[in-house]
């Protein structure tokens, strides 16, 4: 019997030693023998370290509770789609709070103007995207509209359908690329005398509502305007001057710029009350060119409280080669531009919209640019560092390969340069962006509803 007990004790002791040994060297054994079932007889009494996720927030909005700080992590710029994100906001907080509260007041009182400056490259050229946004905003909030600002002449003037300026006479053009002197925020100014203009607003509107027609110009000693066989004399003393030419239901205005030494910027046609979106497209630029606009002009725009919201939609021109992946130089330059604009236009809110998808041929096949992820991270970083909301258009329109699908789809939604949208694609992008605005706006309504129930 004693011999039997001794054998049992020896067997149990050896088994325990083997189990402890297997537990201690568990990871090493699995590394060499992947099929080995992991053994750890002391796992229940060992305190396991808590693993920290790369991001401290859920990847989808509907997984978060009301108190989750879903935007506090920078990396969320790449995880959240169809949503304007503020990096320091909580789930139920309004991101563009000032702008959305003005929209709410307009919808309730049907009084006042809300103005948006929409900057971009050829992606928004010809009033594409902004045309549909204008329709969506004004239909949703049942407000009046006009075409907004029209430059005297640009490369896109010939195919812009929402508003036209027909010219008779001569003028000189200054712009971001050629002779950048006395420029407006559009990137253009014009030296004009003895120039006759016919300006037409082609945006649908209530025919009984007045439409204001404003001439924008810079500083000069004298400006003569002839209209309806009458001469009007002006002395534009500021870097940014607004001259009301007419306020009537007419969609057309004819006038002549006679003796003049002030830079002319363009004409704005807008309702007395409503939402105005000014399209400031400039082909081939990245946004850093805005540094050429004078501080004095920005200050005067700010004192006039011209813009409630300023949107930047750039990116595709930074991807001008298929192998580009480094955008730190752009980060430095655009950061400086944004800081300056925020300083001089401090009555406005800002929004950065990340680059749309664009493609190159790689080994004979069209694919999203390899630098897209790097570019979006830099654009989000600019927004993050300047405390500006960010909208990931690339992610929201479908992400990798979307532009290729849009080119190949029936009906097609993008051109075969794999960069630019056609009208159908532009309208789809506009709807995507608009829905993100409405998602933000609805937070105000939800918050007010909660307060009223308390």
Whether 52 maps to a domain, the answer reads no
**Which residue is listed with tokens 């007889």?**
41
Same domain? 121 vs 152: no
Across 221-304, where does the E strand assignment appear?
A: 223-227, 230-234, 241-248, 252-260, 264-271, 274-281
Half-sphere exposure of 187 (CA within 13 A, CB side): 23
Whether 49 maps to a domain, the answer reads no
Q: Residue 43: pLDDT above 50?
A: no
Query: How confident is the model over 193-212, as a mean pLDDT?
Result: 91
pTM for this one? 0.83
Query: How confident is the model over 348-373, as a mean pLDDT?
Result: 98
Q: Give per-residue burial for 113-127: e unless 16+ CB within 10 Å, then b.
A: bbbbbbbbbbbbbbb
- The confidence score (pLDDT) of residue 68 equals 45
Contact 239, 297 (CB under 8 A): yes
Burial of 451 (0-12, 13-18, 19+ CB in 10 A): exposed
Measured in whole angstroms, the distance separating CA 394 from the mean position of its chain's CA atoms is: 11
Same domain? 79 vs 213: no
- The confidence score (pLDDT) of residue 418 equals 97
Same domain? 131 vs 151: no
Within 8 A by CB and 6+ apart from 51, the residues are none
- CATH number, domain at 216? 2.60.120.1360
Given 272, 287, 315, which residue is the final one in a domain? 272
Plot region of 365 (φ>0 → left; ψ -120 to 50 → alpha; else → beta): beta
Of residues 50 and 123, the one with the higher pLDDT is: 123
Same domain? 72 vs 87: yes
d(CA 42, CA 318): 56
Count the neighbouring beta carbons within 10 Å of the beta carbon of residue 66: 9
Same domain? 154 vs 244: yes
d(CA 178, CA 189): 11
Q: Residue 61: pLDDT above 50?
A: no
d(CA 123, CA 287): 13
Looking at the chain, the whole-number percentage of residues with pLDDT higher than 70 is: 82
Q: Residue 47: pLDDT above 90?
A: no
Same domain? 279 vs 357: yes
Whether 197 maps to a domain, the answer reads yes
d(CA 102, CA 347): 13
Apex CA 412: angle with CA 406 and CA 413, to 5°?
55
Contact 184, 216 (CB under 8 A): yes
pLDDT tens by residue, 126-147: 999 999 999 999 999 998 889 9
pLDDT classification of 16: cutoffs 50, 70, 90? low
- CATH number, domain at 105? 3.40.50.1110
What distances in angstroms separate CA 295 from CA 298, 379, 444, one per listed residue?
Answer: 5, 24, 34
Same domain? 310 vs 412: yes
pLDDT tens by residue, 300-338: 999 988 899 999 999 999 999 999 999 999 999 999 999
Q: Residue 51: pLDDT above 90?
A: no
Determine which of 214-228, 256-270, 293-307, 438-452 has the lowest per-residue pLDDT on average. 438-452
User: The domain containing residue 34 runs over which residues?
Assistant: 2-43
Whether 53 maps to a domain, the answer reads no
Q: Residue 296: pLDDT above 70?
A: yes
Whether 326 maps to a domain, the answer reads yes
- The confidence score (pLDDT) of residue 54 equals 35
d(CA 267, CA 244): 10
pLDDT classification of 30: cutoffs 50, 70, 90? very low
Same domain? 25 vs 89: no
Same domain? 418 vs 297: yes
Structural domain tally of the chain?
3
Same domain? 34 vs 174: no
Q: Residue 272: pLDDT above 80?
A: yes
Whether 50 maps to a domain, the answer reads no
pLDDT tens by residue, 214-245: 999 999 999 999 999 999 999 999 999 999 99
Of residues 196 and 41, the one with the higher pLDDT is: 196
Half-sphere exposure of 390 (CA within 13 A, CB side): 30
- The confidence score (pLDDT) of residue 66 equals 38
Determine which of 26-30, 119-123, 209-213 has the lowest per-residue pLDDT on average. 26-30
Apex CA 199: angle with CA 194 and CA 203, to 5°?
170
Same domain? 246 vs 359: no
Q: Which range scores top for mean pLDDT: 19-28, 58-67, 421-430?
A: 421-430
Q: Residue 202: pLDDT above 60?
A: yes
Contact 246, 166 (CB under 8 A): no
Of residues 5 and 54, the one with the higher pLDDT is: 5
Same domain? 216 vs 285: no
d(CA 276, CA 382): 27
Whether 401 maps to a domain, the answer reads yes
Burial of 448 (0-12, 13-18, 19+ CB in 10 A): exposed
Whether 235 maps to a domain, the answer reads yes
Question: What's the mean per-residue pLDDT of the chain?
Answer: 87
């Amino acid at each position: 019997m004693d011999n039997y007990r001794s054998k049992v004790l020896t067997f149990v002791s050896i088994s325990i030693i083997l189990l402890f040994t297997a537990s201690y060297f568990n990871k090493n054994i699995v590394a060499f023998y992947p099929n080995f079932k992991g053994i750890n007889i002391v796992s229940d009494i060992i305190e396991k370290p808590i693993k920290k996720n790369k991001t401290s927030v859920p990847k989808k909005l509907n997984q978060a509770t009301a108190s989750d700080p879903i935007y506090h992590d920078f990396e969320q710029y790449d995880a959240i789609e169809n949503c304007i994100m503020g990096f320091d906001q909580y789930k139920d907080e309004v991101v563009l709070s000032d702008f959305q509260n003005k929209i709410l007041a307009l919808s309730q009182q049907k009084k006042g103007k809300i103005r948006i400056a929409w900057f971009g490259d050829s992606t928004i050229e010809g009033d594409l995207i902004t045309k549909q946004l204008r329709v969506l905003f004004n239909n949703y909030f049942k407000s009046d509209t006009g075409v907004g600002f029209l430059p005297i002449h640009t490369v896109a003037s010939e195919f812009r359908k929402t508003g036209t300026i027909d010219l008779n006479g001569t003028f000189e053009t200054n712009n971001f690329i050629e002779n950048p002197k006395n420029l407006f925020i559009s990137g253009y100014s014009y030296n004009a005398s003895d120039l006759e203009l016919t300006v037409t607003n082609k945006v649908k509107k209530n025919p009984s509502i007045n439409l204001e027609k404003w001439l924008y110009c810079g500083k000069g000693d004298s400006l003569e305007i002839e209209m309806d066989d009458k001469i009007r004399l002006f002395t534009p003393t500021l870097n940014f001057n607004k001259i009301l030419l007419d306020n009537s239901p007419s969609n057309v205005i004819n006038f002549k710029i006679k003796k003049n030494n002030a830079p002319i910027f363009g004409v704005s046609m807008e309702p007395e009350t409503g939402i105005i979106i000014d399209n400031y497209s400039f082909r081939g630029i990245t946004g850093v060119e805005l540094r050429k606009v004078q501080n004095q002009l920005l200050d005067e725009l700010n004192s006039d409280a011209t813009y409630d919201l300023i949107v930047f939609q750039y990116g595709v021109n930074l991807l001008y080669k298929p192998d580009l992946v480094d955008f730190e130089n752009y980060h430095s330059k655009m950061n400086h531009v944004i800081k300056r604009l925020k300083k001089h236009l401090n009555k406005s809110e800002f929004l950065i919209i990340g680059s749309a998808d664009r493609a190159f041929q790689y080994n004979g096949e069209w694919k999203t640019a390899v630098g897209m992820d790097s570019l979006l991270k830099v654009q989000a970083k600019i927004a993050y560092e300047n405390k500006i909301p960010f909208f990931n258009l690339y992610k929201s329109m479908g992400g990798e390969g979307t532009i290729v699908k849009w080119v190949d789809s029936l009906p097609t939604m993008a051109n075969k340069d794999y960069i630019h949208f056609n009208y159908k694609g532009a309208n789809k992008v506009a709807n995507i962006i608009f829905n993100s605005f409405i998602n933000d706006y609805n937070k105000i309504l939800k918050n007010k509803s909660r307060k009223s129930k308390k």
